[in-house]
Chain A
Amino acid sequence: MPSEYSPQELMAIFLARDLQDGDVLRVGVAMPVVEAAVRLAHIMHGPNMELIFLGARMNVAHLDSLPMPAFGWDRRVVRWAESYSDSGHRFDRIKDWGRHVFFIGGVQVDPHGNTNLIGIGPDYHHLRFRGPGSVGTPTLSTHVGRYYIVLNSHSPRIFVERCDYISAYGWGTGGADARQKLGLPGGGPKYCVTPLCVMDFTEDTKHLRLHSTHPGVLAAEVQAQTGFSLATTATPALTSPPSEEELRVLRTRVDLSGMLRRSA
């Protein structure tokens, strides 16, 4: 009988399983699920991963625990870094970003995985909601080998037929060659992970497809919370629940304060 767990814990565990040893993981601000996922993967199967929090690059597999959060530029974070680069410098070896992995959020996501951090409203000069801005997501999503769209909630307000603005280009208007046609070298979004489900992209049209629902969530429920038709497979899978070991490591060595349980 598996333990109780929160959707956020399951999201972190799903992501951690998909990260490969040797990946270079670039983590931005305000994404606790991702911060937990990269630490969990690093401890469980990724001693050669590199974790880059903003510009602080670390390998901390030797530590007993990797508590969260660890953001900011002061010594509390930088003490773990082996090297440390400032904005711009960290965009200096883009040619090697094929093995880099990135995580991206958004206030809107469209059927082809384009994302919006700019704002909501038809008139750019009178936005109904002003978002935080693109951060580095246009450049990172252009170049990294793969990235994950990770969202704290799943609703028709977020999953829209058309983003009011696109700050990171996923698969444009669709098609497996969409990125190639624009000359974008990176591999594009791989999965979109939410508290309800995991989605991937159809191979030919690059349309969001239901990959697996989280235990207890019905496919119809996911569709009802999505503002466009999701592609489906014949038999949508169930996201594998956390193992006892995954939960134990997550709770005792990563998320010591229970951040991912509280946000449930």
Chain B
Amino acid sequence: MPERHERILDETEAASWVHDGMTIAVGSPAPMMLLRHIIRRGVKNLTVVDSGLSLDLLIAAGCVRKVVSYYAGGGFGVPVAPSFRRAVERGEIEVWECEEGILTTGLQAAAQALPFLPWRGGVGTSLPEINPDLKLMQDPIRGETLIAVPPIKPDLALLHAATADAYGNVQHCGGPGWLDLFLHRAADRTLVQVERIIPNEEVRANPWATTIAGADAIVRAPYGAHPFYSRGCYVQDNAFLRTYVEAATAAQTGKPESLHQYLTYYCREPATHGDYLERVGIKHLLGLYEY
């Protein structure tokens, strides 16, 4: 009698799903445990659908060739994510210029296997000029000018959530992450790291709470979103993120030492997530507890 397949991977197996040249989509909060593995393995030439500082870290580590991003702000007094800014200004990475509505529309087109979906936001702007994949069109019903947004189809969506069972039933805590469901629907495969793996019975006790039905693989990652937040568990580690932003900003102006040090100490040297957490320190982590 064949059995139902479990979908749990260990962190190393999971990270090996990411190959050079792939298109990956990164959820929010970012699945930092998986991203650190990508950096450690030195994956190259990724096209990355992401925004903010997790995107910036992947760029800093040299993993990225092209970004699909509507926003790369830095925070902490830095208006633009520093590694993103530097790499784009030097022509080292390509930008698929978009905005939030266009991004979600492209993801929806991919999910629904359509050649495009129309969107109005962006009509009159430079977006269709600087991103030739966005086509201005006359709508055949009312003759209005709209933008035809082609599918944005990631090979792999990498997400972080609170819990999942062994069969890929994911239950975010306090609502799904920013864009997570769009990324999951659009991507060929979805890999979710979770704070805790729960029994299937617990999922069936509250099936309405299941946000993603059938993720392709689940990885256990307690504190795995650090230095970002994980709802139901811990808040964002702003001091830690500020350290990164300062290091990346210094690298922008010809002082790359602290950024190298950050990448080496926190991303490349720790062989496992446990090694990373040891470097951050248990006292520090406990200080981020939600309540």
Q: Which residues does A use to contact B, with CB under 8 Å? A: 29-30, 55, 72-76, 78, 84, 86-88, 91, 118-119, 124-143, 165-169, 172, 182-184
C-alpha gap A68/B20 in the complex (Å): 42
Kindly identify which residue among B91, B101, B126 contacts A167, using a CB–CB cutoff of 8 Å: B126
A182-B124 in contact (CB<8A): yes
A129-B89 in contact (CB<8A): yes
B126-A135 in contact (CB<8A): no
A134-B99 in contact (CB<8A): yes
Beyond contacts A78-B231, A132-B81, A133-B72: 17 other A-B pairs, Cβ-Cβ < 8 A, are A29-B75, A30-B79, A91-B104, A118-B126, A129-B85, A130-B84, A133-B51, A133-B70, A133-B97, A134-B71, A138-B101, A138-B121, A138-B125, A140-B121, A169-B123, A183-B120, A183-B144
B122-A183 in contact (CB<8A): no
* Complex contacts, A132 vs chain B, CB 8 Å: 71-74, 79-81
CB distance from A74 to the nearest CB of B (A): 4
C-alpha gap A133/B50 in the complex (Å): 12
Question: Who on chain B is nearest to A29 by CB?
Answer: B73
**B interface residue count range (under 10 / 10 to 19 / 20 to 34 / 35 or more):** 35 or more
Q: Does chain A have a CB within 8 A of B88?
A: yes
CB distance from B278 to the nearest CB of A (A): 24
A75-B100 in contact (CB<8A): no
Q: Does chain A have a CB within 8 A of B177?
A: yes
Of the listed stretches B179-187, B253-261, B263-271, name the one at the interface; the rest are far from the partner chain: B179-187
C-alpha gap A88/B202 in the complex (Å): 29
CB-CB under 8 A for A72 and B181, given A91-B104, A138-B125: no
A75-B231 in contact (CB<8A): yes
* Complex contacts, A135 vs chain B, CB 8 Å: 70-71, 73, 99-100
Kindly identify which residue among B70, B124, B231 contacts A74, using a CB–CB cutoff of 8 Å: B231
A130-B97 in contact (CB<8A): no
A139-B121 in contact (CB<8A): yes
CB distance from B286 to the nearest CB of A (A): 16
CB distance from B146 to the nearest CB of A (A): 8
C-alpha gap A172/B125 in the complex (Å): 9
Can you sample 25 A-B contacts with CB below 8 Å?
A29-B75, A30-B73, A73-B29, A75-B229, A78-B231, A87-B179, A91-B104, A124-B130, A132-B79, A132-B80, A133-B70, A134-B97, A135-B70, A135-B100, A136-B99, A136-B101, A136-B121, A138-B101, A138-B125, A141-B121, A143-B120, A183-B144, A183-B145, A184-B120, A184-B123
B91-A86 in contact (CB<8A): no
C-alpha gap A128/B85 in the complex (Å): 10
B229-A125 in contact (CB<8A): no
A-contact 0/1 string along B121-154, CB 8 Å cutoff:
1111111001000000000000011000000000
Q: Does chain A have a CB within 8 A of B12?
A: no
Question: Who on chain A is nearest to B146 by CB?
Answer: A183
Q: Does chain A have a CB within 8 A of B2?
A: no
* Complex contacts, A75 vs chain B, CB 8 Å: 174, 229, 231, 235, 290-291
Q: Does chain A have a CB within 8 A of B218?
A: no
B91-A169 in contact (CB<8A): no
Q: Does chain A have a CB within 8 A of B69?
A: yes
C-alpha gap A29/B3 in the complex (Å): 49
A127-B89 in contact (CB<8A): yes
CB distance from B147 to the nearest CB of A (A): 9
Question: Who on chain B is nearest to A137 by CB?
Answer: B99
Question: Who on chain B is nearest to A121 by CB?
Answer: B89
9 nearest A-B residue pairs (beta carbon): A139-B121, A74-B229, A169-B124, A139-B101, A88-B104, A136-B100, A134-B99, A165-B126, A130-B88
C-alpha gap A145/B269 in the complex (Å): 52
Q: Does chain A have a CB within 8 A of B28?
A: yes
CB-CB under 8 A for A138 and B127, given A74-B229, A76-B235: yes
* Complex contacts, A72 vs chain B, CB 8 Å: 229, 235-236
B91-A125 in contact (CB<8A): yes
* Complex contacts, B127 vs chain A, CB 8 Å: 134, 138, 167
* Complex contacts, A143 vs chain B, CB 8 Å: 120-121
* Complex contacts, A74 vs chain B, CB 8 Å: 229, 231, 234-236, 290
C-alpha gap A143/B103 in the complex (Å): 17
